[in-house]
Amino acid sequence: MYYYSANVLGERLRTMNALLDGLIAGYGIAIPLGGISVLIVNLALERGFHLGFMAGAGTATIDMICATLAVFAGAAVVASISPYAHPLQLMSGLVLIAMGVYGIFQIKKRGQADDHPPSEGREEAWTTYGKFLALTILNPFTVAYFLALIIGKGSTWSFSLMDCFLFIGGVAIASFSWQIVLAGAGALVRKHITPRFMKGSIIVGNAIVILLGLQIMISI
């Protein structure tokens, strides 16, 4: 009876460890400030929580997909994308710079946006989701990040099917929850600042996106 109970307890602890590993990995890749994070906050600041959430959902979806690829086919995926790492990194930097410049130049067109806020239809929400899905997928290192974590676990990672799904679930929970925090922060600030300060914040945010894009390109 004692042996059976110890086995059950050990199995449950191992299961919880897989979920915890996924949570830590998900927050580890989501929390560090990057261009996409700033874009999510900017969008929520400018257009509200709903579109900010959809942007964050696109990013979190890619984190979850990359974690899945790393768990089930990590080595093969990393080997297949490694020849294209630099072009993808260059494209990612260019896209961030373009989006930052576009965001700044669009401010003039939004001069009356505070009195007549644009509608947020379902089509626009899913378009936003798709844009951030495409932008996030340009990062070739996300799969490598998750793969390195899993390999680093060595013999402590059992690679059982349950462990794999719990790890992926932990990554999804962590990434989605952090994107909600970003969208919520932008939307909260939006409600408590003047239109002039909002425009200034959008300019600063987009300038940061441009600088982060330049940093990516310089580091290639």
Domain boundaries, the chain: 2-218
Q: Burial of 147 by CB count in 10 Å (0-12 exposed, 13-18 middle, 19+ buried)?
A: buried
Q: Judge contact between 193 and 23, C-beta under 8 A.
A: no
User: Which pLDDT belongs to residue 1?
Assistant: 46
User: Which pLDDT belongs to residue 2?
Assistant: 43
- Among 71, 45, 64, 81, CA closest to 192: 45
Residues of the chain with pLDDT under 70: 1-15, 33, 74-75, 77-79, 81, 107-121, 140, 151-159, 220
Indicate the angle between helix axes 35-47 and 49-81, nearest 10 degrees: 160
User: Which pLDDT belongs to residue 158?
Assistant: 60
pTM (whole model) above 0.85:
no
What letters, b where the CB count within 10 A reaches 16 and e where it falls short, cover 30-69? beeebbbbbbbbbbbbbbbbbbbbbbbbbbbbbbbbbbbb
User: Which pLDDT belongs to residue 170?
Assistant: 94
